[in-house]
């Protein structure tokens, strides 16, 4: 009789609506959700501002890219479908701008990577004043791009009072030629000005990779008789591969959008007009908003493709660090 009563009481307790266990779990879950929202709420204004500042203009750009809209002919505005994209692809100036963008980006990234690797290897060594030298090496990357382009255009490239022509006169004397660097070498003038500013960025990433090497393995290789070149080729370079890929991809994302140096140094002339400058001319000179938007969408899509590869490289680096 007593056992039957005990079983019945247990069954009643467990079968009662809102039993002890579920009643305690519901308020706990609600409190957790409230705590999560309380932590996220301060971030909502920043998120809303980011969406308004970045995503809404991009949505407007996408919509405009499908519209034939020229400010000189406001009555002819209409939906054009993919016509603007076809015009960008078939336009000889656009194709040339795309080719210049690709060539300029590859040249800047490769030269910056090479110089950054050499600088990182030198700064990884111990010497007096290494901290000061590292700080000075980073300085070009902190200069405003327009100011850096003006510096190269007037202080270095100017044929009358520029530093390069002054050095030629100092070495060769009065027989030194007066070289118009921008006029004779327009592409190289833009490229080296961008390389000067992006080499420190590459150096920072590669220096971080060098300092993450297992030094005990390097010392063991030296004890075993490995030369410096063998250590660099078979140990340092494979270790830096992911860092080199990351630096190259991030550099590509930013350099492909470069506008300041092209606009400031050559104003897009002498065959240096890249895709961002083509978009600028189409929008502000031709006032063809639909065509400029289509070219902008193409640049964004290509940048997103490169950024996706860069993010995968970053994630692979994190996985290797956590092993």
Residue 78: which H helix or E strand, with range? strand 78-79
What percent of the chain shows pLDDT beyond 70? 89
Does any domain span residue 215? yes
Distances (CA, A) of 207 to 19, 20, 65, 228, 239: 61, 59, 42, 17, 12
Q: For all residues of the chain together, what is the average pLDDT?
A: 83
Does any domain span residue 187? yes
Domain region containing 121: 93-274+306-322
Whole-prediction pTM? 0.76
Does any domain span residue 223? yes
- Assess whether pLDDT exceeds 80 at residue 306: no
Does any domain span residue 52? no
What CATH number is attached to the domain comprising 214?
1.10.3720.10
Does any domain span residue 104? yes
- Assess whether pLDDT exceeds 70 at residue 18: no
Does any domain span residue 186? yes
Does any domain span residue 234? yes
**Helix, strand, or coil here: 68?**
strand
Q: How far is CA 70 from the centre of its chain?
A: 32
Least confident of 50-54, 234-238, 318-322: 318-322
What confidence tens digit (pLDDT) does each residue in 111-140 have? Answer: 999 999 999 999 888 888 888 888 888 889
Alpha-carbon gap, residue 298 to 306, rounded angstroms? 13
Domain count, the chain: 1
Mean pLDDT, to the nearest integer, of 62-79?
88
Does any domain span residue 204? yes
What confidence tens digit (pLDDT) does each residue in 174-215 have? Answer: 788 888 999 999 999 999 999 999 999 999 999 988 888 888
Mean pLDDT, to the nearest integer, of 296-303?
85
Distances (CA, A) of 217 to 96, 123, 178, 199, 207: 49, 20, 54, 29, 18
């Amino acid at each position: 009789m007593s056992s039957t009563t005990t079983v019945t009481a247990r069954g009643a307790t467990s079968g009662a609506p809102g039993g002890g266990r579920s009643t305690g779990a519901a308020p706990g879950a609600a409190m957790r959700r409230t705590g999560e929202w309380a932590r996220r709420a301060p971030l909502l204004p920043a998120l809303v501002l980011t969406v308004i500042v970045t995503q809404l203009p991009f949505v407007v750009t996408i919509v405009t890219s499908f519209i034939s809209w020229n400010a000189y002919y406001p009555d002819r505005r209409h939906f054009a479908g993919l016509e603007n994209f076809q015009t960008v692809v078939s336009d000889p100036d656009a194709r040339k701008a795309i080719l210049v963008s690709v060539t300029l980006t590859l040249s800047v990234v490769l030269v910056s990577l090479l110089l950054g690797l050499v600088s990182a290897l030198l700064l990884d060594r111990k010497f007096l004043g290494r901290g000061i030298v590292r700080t000075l090496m980073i300085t070009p990357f902190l200069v405003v791009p327009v100011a850096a382009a003006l510096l190269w255009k007037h202080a270095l490239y100017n044929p009358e009072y520029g530093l390069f022509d002054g050095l030629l006169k100092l070495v060769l004397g009065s027989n030194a030629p007066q070289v118009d660097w921008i006029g004779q070498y327009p592409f190289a003038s833009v490229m080296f000005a961008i390389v000067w500013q992006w080499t420190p960025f590459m150096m920072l990433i590669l220096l971080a990779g060098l300092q993450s090497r297992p030094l005990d393995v390097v010392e063991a290789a030296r004890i075993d008789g490995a030369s410096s070149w063998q250590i660099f080729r078979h140990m340092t370079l494979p270790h830096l591969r992911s860092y080199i890929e990351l630096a190259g991809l991030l550099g590509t994302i930013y350099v492909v959008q470069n506008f300041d140096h092209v606009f400031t140094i050559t104003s897009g002339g002498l065959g240096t007009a890249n895709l961002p400058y083509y978009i600028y001319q189409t929008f502000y000179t031709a006032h063809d908003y639909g065509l400029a938007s289509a070219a902008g969408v193409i640049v964004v899509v290509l940048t997103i493709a490169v950024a996706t590869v860069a993010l995968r490289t970053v994630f692979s680096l994190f996985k290797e660090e956590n092993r």
